[in-house]
Structure 1
């Protein structure tokens, strides 16, 4: 578990990265100064490069999309450092990092890479920080030079070992009558890194083995009624089903399988080009699954729940609860919301993500 002062440094680093500021990631004597590629400006990149040219850090997923295969990093590497040749200026770098841009103005390389050596952990931590900030996981980075001045400094090991599930606290409880489930209480949880809050809806009278649903937030489906997914119908059906027996719905702020709302909309653009949901996320530089279901187990433990029945078609949710110390006594199938617009989406869940549809 990271120390509270590390939590504060990580939270501040996330905020600065989202503002387009330079952040320093340290790893003992090594370290990198990093800048979000998508938010970089001519001025901020020039500031970063005052002591020398910066590399472009990409995830292995994005590197594979760009066919940087003849210089593949060592097995298990979490970052690829592209050496920026003279042609790889700010505009070309952003086009390399962002597939939405490369559809408009593709850049084909060459993409020479360098061995990160002692900077490997700092590079992995920087990309993890970008994901936590809900930015594209692509960074300008150069080895640290000089003092940190007014830059936020965060430790690479603390970033990579940080777990929201270990740093949650309950901040509020209130009665929340819902349509179809008037006897409902909402419990709000906040992680210590300043990340998004998560909710537990205690519906009816949960018994010793309550029916549980893990629902990841989907603004487009839950609120706007998008037909590209099945999230809205699944949410409403889950509330109705749980109200019959009593149970808990965990509403986890992990939009787009954990990549965030804006990146999910980028993925939608790629889906319009013919990529499925998995390949769209990979092209953006994310993993196929970025959600953290350890959160759900931690929330249930804090509510005093240790044994559940799980309303899901996704075995990964059951496995995560079991790993987190919550016994899953049984799975209850939950399929709703099929329509002509989401057939490929549902087929991908079944065929590539192991959902039992």
Structure 2
């Protein structure tokens, strides 16, 4: 059996912890000073999960992002994460509603909530980051615990370390390796090869679509495309993702070859379920940016280190980037890929995505 290095072991622990959180099972987050938090995803709060959690910790609180706290009329004092008191009246359904803004109309009489005067720590930020990594809403029930080792041992809980959680994006990107490659003719380009990349710990896969035979001596035309189940596969009219994907393949083929990176970053990095919740909020009148922040996320949760690493592994150090998002240009260059040209890539709006495209132009700086 292959011996795992420290980074691999840490990422493996994070992947396992995410699995437990997604099942509604608490995990322990520790820091180097010996402080620890027991955390449970707020959206999984019910009689059974809270009963188990409360049997392990005497006092607990709710940990939210500043974006979600603002929606609940709780000032964040400039902190990125905020601790909210958990009074006796707060039952499981109240905690779920606290975390999930799609329930705001059904449960309008929430609060008032009391912010705990506790300046954010890396431990708090890691607890929220772990929930995001598990593709859950960024809100947890949390409790400070004194003897984490005993709790972990007695109840079989998983333990992760805050520095590992906060560095996980970069650690995982640097651990990407090519795992499979095959010729797959596509409708927009028959001379196409799919190359899959996976972190050594077995995390989520990203795919490079290599079109034609792009030269490594000159910057190829390429696009970073974040997966969009609704747009790419189902042909959703709420976005322009499907048109961008298929249009990019055709354009790269017409240019004589290049690369399209298909990244597992659904919903600008918040995951498919949270994206559907954002769509539900859009049905209530919120735009795409406000929907994400109301859920507690940042406007865009993506980083482009995986894209840069994939390009390097494929032998490219400079590119002509097909995008309307200046953040992608900056994101690639931050991680060592030179963007010699930004190539426009836009499609006409339809009645269902006009507001979406207008919001991207006005609020996120897209060049449309």
TM-score interval, normalised by the smaller of the two chains: over 0.9
Give unmatched runs, 5+ long, in structure 1.
Answer: none
Q: What is residue 125 of structure 1 aligned with on the other side?
A: 126
User: By how many angstroms is 1:79 displaced?
Assistant: 1.5
Separation in structure 2 between the aligned mates of residue 224 and residue 180 of structure 1, nearest angstrom: 18
What is the aligned counterpart of 1:88 among 87, 90, 96?
A: 90
Note the C-alpha offset of 1:204: 0.7
Deviates more, 1:159-168 or 1:131-140: 159-168
Aligned length: 352
Aligned to 1:142: 143
2:25 corresponding residue in structure 1: 21
Picking from 151, 155, 158, the partner of 2:157 is 151
Query: Any conservation in 2 of the 1:170–1:189 contact (CA below 8 Å)?
Result: yes
> Are 2:197 and 1:196 aligned?
no
Query: How far has the Cα of 1:300 moved from its partner?
Result: 0.3
C-alpha distance in structure 1 between counterparts of 2:83 and 2:316, whole Å: 45
SS at match of 1:103: coil
148-157 vs 185-194, which moves further: 185-194
Check the 8 A contact 1:233/1:337 in 2, yes or no: no
Do the aligned residues in 2 keep the contact of 1:58 with 1:80 (CA within 8 Å)? Answer: yes
Cα pair distance change 1:283/1:115, threshold 3 Å: same
Alpha-carbon distance between aligned partners in 2 of 1:269 and 1:353, rounded to the nearest angstrom: 21
Does the Cα contact within 8 Å between 1:48 and 1:54 map onto a contact in 2? no
Shift of 1:47: 1.6
Unaligned stretches of 5+ residues in structure 2? none
Q: Which residue of 2 aligns with 1:178?
A: 186
**Structure 1 vs Structure 2 CA RMSD:** 1.5
- Provide the residue aligned with 2:323 in structure 1: 312
* Residue equivalent to 2:281: 270
Deviation at 1:98, TM superposition (A): 0.5
SS of the residue 2:315 aligns to: coil
Question: Segments of 4+ in structure 1 off by > 3 A?
Answer: 192-195
Q: Distance in 2 between matches of 1:222 and 1:93?
A: 34
Q: Does 1:9 align with 2:13?
A: yes
TM-score normalised per structure 1: 0.95
Instruction: Give the Cα–Cα distance (whole angstroms) in 1 for the partners of residues 344 and 320 of structure 2.
Output: 11
